[in-house]
Chains A and B, each alone.
Chain A
Amino acid sequence: MSDQYRVPDDLVYTREHEWAKTLEGVERIGITDYAAKTLNDVVYVSLPSIGQHLEQLASFGTVESIKAVSELYSPLSGIVSKVNTELGNHPELVNKSPYEEGWIIEIKPSKIEEERKKLLDSKQYREFLSSLGK
């Protein structure tokens, strides 16, 4: 069943269905293909402000569909360096392209080495989806 969702190999994942990708000095964060498909039509994304400090696995915003509100949890601690302002007018990018154009924020991580251990790699996340019966 988990084959129906994209789980790229170069990302790390939370059990709350966020991903993080290492770029130059920053971590880009978004929600997984599974989360986007489960939420269905994303119509609103509430974003943190630049400079805001995030704690690992603490809520930093919400992503909403017509019917449901879902919390966003940061895979890593750090300071918000960039937010995807395109999502203001085009929240549907989260559905169309959850790992590319639908990214949500970028942070400067503060404790990445120790915190990474708490995250899943693509193989573990795929297994986690299977364990959910997805």
Chain B
Amino acid sequence: MVEFAGYDMPVWYTGIMEEHLAVRNHAGIFDVSHMGRIAVKGSEAGRFTDALVPTRSSSQPIGKSFYTLLLNANGGIIDDLIIIKRAEDDYLFVVNAANRAKDADHMARLSAQYEVVLDDMTDRTTMIAIQGPEAFQALQGLTVQNLSEIKRYNHVMSKVGASMATITRTGYTGEDGFEIILYDSGIENNSIALSVWNELANRAKPCGLGSRDSLRVEAGLPLYGSDIDDTTNPIEADLAWVVSKEKTGYVGSDAIAGHLGTQPQKLRRGIILEDKIPRHGFNVSNEVGEKIGQVTSGTFSPILKKGIALAYVNAPYAQVGQAVRIVIRDAPVAGKIVKPPFYDEKAYGLKRTATAPAPATP
């Protein structure tokens, strides 16, 4: 067990490799209750969220779950998050555990000007991610909701086990799957959540923080604090797709307009190495040994059986296929720039063409 943002969490249950492969090939479950869940409610909830994020928010249909960012006035990233639009006057923010207090402060400061209330639901709810090509089958037995009716980045309110729940088709592994928020069971009364977890554990492999990290790196997904922070902007972080080009008037919008109008100096990219394992903080160099970037996340890819990295590289070196080196213990190791995900998308991940067995109807 390790301490993570104030929670005791397992790095693995049976082994990182085993858990990683279970998610890619079958299904795994993650207790993600540590993630912050802050509801924004009130007649001006839509307008308020529009002022907070660079993505269209109030014009999204009810039932949408979308990935977006909280930005500071310089266009730096305060946090990355999922917003679950539960009603026109009710948006649920799912934020990083380590940023929960910072996000709540940022939101509270702006909320004074709007008819909204903020409700931090983290401690009285439970959140579990069910991920992998067989996530459907694992979760379907616990709910009357026909899961095949929920499209990617959408959610429904239904019952899971004995609890009312939001079931959202999202995740942090690159695989298809669901995240469920159980409303009737939290830290104080965890018995319903435990029974849901135990039921799921009969159908899918419990996974710890270790495989959660190796899976998200393999999928190319950024981790706040490692790959993005208050000083990185969405364009250099390869998250420009989150920014609505037409939108103005949100915190950071002027700075973002400036960033969009200029070439970024550096860009977040993937690097595959021919040998060894890159780690956070290692330097990226060109073929004559000049420093051209830095690794922000590095791991061994259980699918590729190679070292992989997420790194910021100077713009001239950011082309896919560009040969680069990562310096490991003073020795440069050859690699090349790729656009993640690192795995073959025909064989792995949510776009895989090898179809999983049809989900059982409830």
A44 CA to B274 CA in the complex, in Å?
Answer: 13
A69: Cβ under 8 A from any B Cβ: yes
Q: Provide the B191-222 mask, 1 if CB < 8 A to any CB of A, else 0.
A: 00000000000000000001101100000000
Q: B279 touching A69 by the CB < 8 A rule? A: yes
Q: Provide the B10-28 mask, 1 if CB < 8 A to any CB of A, else 0.
A: 0110011110100000000
A44 CA to B329 CA in the complex, in Å?
Answer: 14
Tally B residues with Cβ within 8 Å of A.
Answer: 19
Q: A66 touching B299 by the CB < 8 A rule? A: yes
A46 CA to B307 CA in the complex, in Å?
Answer: 13
CB neighbours of A40 from chain B (8 A):
11-12, 15-17, 210
B277: Cβ under 8 A from any A Cβ: yes
Determine chain B's interface SS by DSSP, over half rule.
mixed
A122: Cβ under 8 A from any B Cβ: no
A45 CA to B26 CA in the complex, in Å?
Answer: 29
A41: Cβ under 8 A from any B Cβ: yes
A43: Cβ under 8 A from any B Cβ: yes
Tally A residues with Cβ within 8 Å of B.
Answer: 11
Q: How far is the CB of A87 from chain B (nearest CB, A)?
A: 14
Q: B277 touching A44 by the CB < 8 A rule? A: yes
B302: Cβ under 8 A from any A Cβ: yes
CB neighbours of A69 from chain B (8 A):
277, 279
CB neighbours of B20 from chain A (8 A):
66
CB neighbours of B18 from chain A (8 A):
41
Q: B277 touching A41 by the CB < 8 A rule? A: no
A110: Cβ under 8 A from any B Cβ: no
Residues of B in contact with A (beta carbons under 8 Å apart) = 11-12, 15-18, 20, 210-211, 213-214, 276-277, 279, 299-300, 302, 307, 329
Q: Which 10 A-B pairs give the minimum distances between C-beta atoms?
A: A41-B17, A43-B300, A66-B16, A67-B210, A66-B300, A66-B214, A64-B277, A44-B277, A41-B15, A41-B16
